[in-house]
Amino acid sequence: MENNRTLSRSLTDSRFGSWGWSMIIYASIMYFFFAALSTDGQNLFPTAFSEIYGFDPNTLLAYATPASIVGIIGGFVFARLLIKYSTKKISIISLIITGIAFCVWGLCANIVLYVLLLMVVCFFASGFSFVAPTLMADWFPRKKGVALGWATIGAPLSSAFFVSGFSILLTKAGFKTAFVIFGIAVIIVGILSIFWVKDTPQEVGRYPDNMDPEFAKTLAYRPEQAAIDEASDITIGQVLKTSNTWLIGIGYGLLWMVTVGVVSQFIPRMMSVGYEQSQALMFLTISSIIAVPGSYFWGWLDSKIGTKMASVVYSVSYVVALLILIFSVNEAIIWIGCIFIGLGLGGILNLIPSMVISVFGRAGFKQANSIVTTIASLIRVLAFAIMAALLTVSGGNYTLPYTVFIVADILGAVVLLLIRQKKMK
């Protein structure tokens, strides 16, 4: 074991040890790949395919919705597999198959094959979004907030740099070669996972959280830490019958839906108030960059005041962001809005698994997370339909959908406040 002088005695520091940091970096790469392939890439892939193969880009973009649903199904499948098989095995399989599918996808000159390969990519890439938090839960059950704060930086890094980076790759290397290069990069990480990933810190002689065991014992008496050390297994039936499952899934689902709704229509909103597309894209890029330190901020706040209260603060921050978008009268106000939107981008992937760990503990995380995140994801994808319907009703005016999202955001916070965590015995 590591010398006690190197061990942590705080829930908010970043003393994870060399192996701990290695797992955090790995989880961050998984979040980067997941965001790039399932969300951010849709800003680029339809247009790129249409230019090479002559497809209608709007038709290709429309297929992203059913592919996203396939991705949700894939996420549930991988989450269930993580209960039976090691995190290492699942990460290797999902990475290698995703990488191969991405390489082949660039060769799809037929629209049917395009859709099929898109669904395959979304299905297997969804495994990344479950591998990453599962690894963090096993390594950092108590320091989950800060650890996830660092790990989830991968997602906003994708938003900030993947689209521009892949665009350069398309220009410099060519369409098919660009897909092969990125696909091979994913495959290489899958192969490295054989040697890189360790399912638990005990495999390499480390303590969970890289924490002094004597200090860890004192945390067991804190109400917010009470469930984490429990070793009892739970069944899927017990998870479904637990009110906390539905409160977490619905509460965070509503917050996630609001986040997706705001970000997905940020550029059209800015253009509707007179900004050029290039200016609107600049605002979104700045928001994505702000999300990088924002990820750490939410992790730190989670560890400092607890996951529930951090989630309420998160909800309030998006109410402020929505109000700014409604009353965006000048550029100074827009820049303030970018700060709030950027902070929010870095938080939701952190807070959901953190709350699941808080309520169900390290042992129950895999079982509960497979259900909770699926519920939240199903609510999240409603953002597109709700936004489209409300914009139709309002004649393109964003005040109505933003007002509805404010109500949904507040409702989500109220639902999360109803979550009951274990009290000190």
Binned at pLDDT 50, 70 and 90, residue 325 comes out as confident
Mean pLDDT value across residues 13-35? 92
Mean pLDDT value across residues 367-384? 88
Binned at pLDDT 50, 70 and 90, residue 225 comes out as low
Work out the end-to-end distance of the chain between its first and last CA atoms, rounded to an integer number of angstroms: 31
Per-residue pLDDT, 398: 85
On whether residue 422 sits in a domain, the answer given is: no
**In terms of domains, do 188 and 244 share one?**
no
**In terms of domains, do 179 and 268 share one?**
no
Last residue of a domain, one of 203, 237, 261: 203
Mean pLDDT value across residues 12-33? 92
Q: For residue 265, give its domain range.
A: 218-417
Per-residue pLDDT, 1: 42
Per-residue pLDDT, 229: 53
On whether residue 423 sits in a domain, the answer given is: no
Per-residue pLDDT, 408: 95
Enter the tokens of residue 73.
Answer: 């199904």
User: What pTM does this model have?
Assistant: 0.83
Enter the tokens of residue 361.
Answer: 């503990």
How far is Cα 374 from Cα 73, in angstroms, rounded to an integer? 8
On whether residue 1 sits in a domain, the answer given is: no
Report the candidate in 109, 97, 120 with the shortest Cα–Cα distance to residue 176.
Answer: 109
**In terms of domains, do 262 and 135 share one?**
no
**In terms of domains, do 183 and 230 share one?**
no
Per-residue pLDDT, 218: 65
Per-residue pLDDT, 4: 42
Per-residue pLDDT, 2: 46
CATH label of the domain that carries residue 171: 1.20.1250.20
Enter the tokens of residue 118.
Answer: 């898109």
Per-residue pLDDT, 220: 55
Per-chain mean pLDDT for the chain: 85
On whether residue 69 sits in a domain, the answer given is: yes
How far is Cα 177 from Cα 184, in angstroms, rounded to an integer? 10
Does the pLDDT of residue 45 top 80, yes or no?
yes
**In terms of domains, do 196 and 222 share one?**
no
**Under a CB-based contact definition with an 8 Å cutoff, are residues 185 and 174 in contact?**
no
Span of 69-83, 109-123, 410-424 with lowest mean pLDDT: 410-424
On whether residue 361 sits in a domain, the answer given is: yes
**In terms of domains, do 256 and 121 share one?**
no
Q: How many domains does the chain contain in total? A: 2
For residue 157, give Cα distances in angstroms to 48, 201, 255: 21, 27, 21
Most confident by average pLDDT, 17-26, 56-65, 346-355:
17-26
**In terms of domains, do 48 and 190 share one?**
yes
Enter the tokens of residue 405.
Answer: 């999202």
Task: Give 268-312 pLDDT, tens digit per residue.
Answer: 777 777 778 778 778 878 888 888 888 889 988 988 888 899 999
- Give CA torsion, residues 137, 138, 139, 142, to 10 deg: 50
Residues 6+ apart with CB under 8 A from 12: 145, 146, 300, 303, 304
How far is Cα 300 from Cα 302, in angstroms, rounded to an integer? 5
On whether residue 288 sits in a domain, the answer given is: yes
**In terms of domains, do 97 and 164 share one?**
yes
**In terms of domains, do 101 and 124 share one?**
yes
